[in-house]
Amino acid sequence: MGASDRDYFRDEERRYSRGGGMALPGLTPVSKWLLVANLVIFLIDFFSRKGGSPFGIINERLFFSVQSAFLEGKIWEVFTFQFLHANPWHLIGNSVGLYFFGPWAERWWGSQRFLVFYLLCGIAGALFFSLLMIGGVLPSSGISSRLIGASAGIYGILISVAVINPKERLMLLFPRIEMTMKKLALIFLGIAVVVIIGDNLVGGRPFENSGGEAGHLGGAILAYFLTRFPHLLRKKGKDAESKIIRPKEFRKRRGPAKLRPRSSVDVATASDVDRILDKISRDGIQSLTDEEREILQKASKPTKER
């Protein structure tokens, strides 16, 4: 029996393929707790609101604005605003994006780096919003304008998945249209740019969320560079590298074989394979060193292919 036929290899294939394509993902740890945190915080804030205000006991204290964060020293707002939402539709939209794309990105980055990646994209959203506002590119926003929502981090996840696998196809929930990840990402980025330009040229209701769209673009821009150069979020030393490793590169489809050649993997190599697969489960494929990838690739080949 070849190493590729072992149970743990089949488990890894199921984890990454989920039936092929962008299938309905199983929730990964960080994605799950981000969803829970967003929901709990929203409910507490929502039931504390008075007079139809979009700001309750939590939103009123933890929103981001240039004035409060930078002029009043409440720098923690670059983190806290990412867990706040104005209304149920705002929450649902971000939750859908996190549910479908968060687990995919988390498996690629590894849970710890995924959380850092997500929060950094949110911070980038706040900073890009601040930059455009101070530069006069956002006519509808001032230094006291409030920014809330997980959208910058969600856009970061979307762009990361699109960079990792741009040709991956998915079916939209509404409308029922199939498209590639690259095309979906470009559509969302295009909408953000159009809203910001429209706010400058026309203004009014259709373009009044230009500040929010600036936050989306900030998260997307940072996500693109972090995913293109993933060593920026890697541990220093021998693990550092710049090549993007995609889950599709790990799994190779094989038809059911009636007779499989014997493998020459010895006990020591099998132990190394177990350790490497544990590392993938814990930290993601991107955590592997060149030596570990070579061991995994060699172990996956039957004897006659060696």
Q: Give the Cα separation of 104 and 98 in Å (integer).
A: 10
What is the CA 209 to chain-centroid distance, rounded? 23
List the chain pLDDT tens, one digit each, 306 residues.
433 344 433 444 344 444 334 444 578 999 999 999 999 999 999 999 988 787 999 999 999 999 999 999 999 999 999 999 999 999 999 999 999 999 999 999 999 999 999 999 999 999 999 999 999 999 988 999 999 999 999 999 999 999 999 999 988 877 788 999 999 999 999 999 999 999 999 888 888 899 999 999 999 999 999 999 999 987 343 444 444 444 444 444 444 544 444 444 444 466 777 777 777 776 667 667 777 777 877 777 654 444
Q: Supply 256's token pair.
A: 């059911």
Cβ atoms of 134 and 214 within 8 Å: the answer is no
Q: How many helices (H) and strands (E) does the chain have?
A: 13, 2
Q: Which helix (H) or strand (E) segment is 171 a member of?
A: strand 169-171
Of 194, 179, 188, nearest to 156 by C-alpha is 188
What are the boundaries of each domain within the chain?
3-10+245-305, 20-233
**Span 20-233: which CATH code?**
1.20.1540.10
Q: Is the dihedral of CA 55, 59, 63, 67 positive or negative?
A: positive
